[in-house]
Amino acid sequence: MRKFILWLSFFTLFFVLSIAVGCNINTLSLNPPPLPAGQQLPSTIVNTNRTIGAGGGFAEVTFLANNGQRIRITLTGSSSMMEPYGSLEYPDGMTSIYTPDLGSSLNGVNISELILTQSGTYTYIIFDGSNIGGPVNIKIEVI
């Protein structure tokens, strides 16, 4: 009898919660819905880890991109105390911008988006504003 009551309680709780969050038990699926027609997932250009030395070290990655592409740069430090930021050097070797900026990270993560103005090989140099150093994940996506 106790097993039946426990089972009934669980079923009732599941039923009430599914109504509360708007789920339909007949259409409940573990697969995400397909993207709307014409919508694409971001294309990943770079997704790698680099280690920045403590006390002012840096790391770099290079990638190919085209004029007019909109990119998202996501830097994720191995510690929430890290403040990863970077400098993007354009293919002409003359243009360089800090993106994301120093001081704009939150819990070791720093994100920026920009539109590229040149085609060719870009060099992205990553720093740690906290000077703690350590592994950083660098993800660059076309969005």
pLDDT one-digit tens code per residue, 58-112: 999 999 999 999 999 999 999 999 999 999 999 999 888 998 878 788 899 999 9
pLDDT one-digit tens code per residue, 2-58: 554 544 454 454 443 344 444 444 444 455 556 566 656 679 999 999 999 999 899
41, 61 in Cβ contact below 8 A? no
Using CA atoms, how far apart are residues 20 and 90, in angstroms rounded to an integer? 51
Domain definitions of the chain by residue range:
43-142
44, 141 in Cβ contact below 8 A? yes
How many other β-carbons are positioned within 10 Å of the β-carbon of residue 108?
20
Any idea which residue has 């309680």 for tokens? 9
Specify the CATH number of the domain 43-142: 2.60.120.380
Paired tokens of 33: 């819905």
Kindly report whether the global pTM for this prediction surpasses the value 0.75: no
